[in-house]
Amino acid sequence: MTDSGASNSRDNDIEIDYTHHYRRWHDDSDAHFKDMADYFANKLKPFLPRERASRIFEIGCGMGFALGGLQILGYQNIEGIDADRGQVAAAHRRGLSVKYVPVSETAAFLATRADSYNVVLCIDVLEHIPLSDQLSFLAQLRNALEPGGRLICQVPNASSGIASRWRYGDWTHHCSFSETSLDFVLHNAGFTVNIIMEADPKNRPPFPYILRPRVIGTWLLYRLFHTLRRLEYMVELGSTEGRPIPLTPNILAIATRPLSQK
């Protein structure tokens, strides 16, 4: 959702205006901000510490939707950075603690935050990082966490039925991930991977269904297409490997910095 991430780069000294892309889906109205903040509050709540004084940092925070969700949940010791001036300005208009940090200065910024955070959010950011830089980028995020701190990371899912659209709909994307490749890069960056799961699966609408025919119809089609795609994976790869593959457009990883680092 917050694709701004570390995407604002310079190509032949041209500064990318990522806000131009982002505004296709997200406007700067108060109503939209509230809807998105509510969405992120519900999404993140199961993975956050109970202590509301926890120090939480978001890299690639965009317009601040996730930070707004954290405020709804009562977390106040929060901050974020982004490499797009337009989105940082939008976050500032809502009083959020967000700093503009160009991509070229991100490593230096994170170096000043060693062992600082209980939680780091990296939502729709890693796919914007060149493959050659992803391990060092994740290692910088790991070092910004306190030992035992938690990383919440969301990326596009290469196994989704709309994976190509998700991968190439944004010019600044460098890759997509499967659950195995995401586990690989997190492990090699020094994290302990706790779980990799489907992000935002569509749950069955509440009863009574007859009062919501369009909603239940959409959900039934969703189940049908996911079942067919899972059967295809099971035929190609075998049931043991094919059955647990996540199929949602994004996948979500929860990982921790080990208490003792090698």
Nearest to 25 by CA among 169, 217, 220: 169
* 45-83 pLDDT per residue, tens: 999 999 999 999 999 999 999 999 999 999 999 999 999
In this predicted model, what pLDDT tens digit does every residue of 101-123 receive, in sequence order?
999 999 999 999 999 999 999 99
| Domain 10-201+246-256 coded CATH 3.40.50.150 | yes
Burial label for 8, CB within 10 Å (0-12, 13-18, 19+), is buried
Q: How confident is the model at residue 9 (pLDDT cuts 50, 70, 90)?
A: very low
* Whether the predicted pLDDT of 154 surpasses 80: yes
Q: Are 257 and 149 in contact (CB under 8 A)?
A: yes
* Structural domain boundaries in the chain: 10-201+246-256, 209-241
Cα separations (Å) of 238 from 118, 132, 171, 233, 245?
40, 32, 34, 7, 11
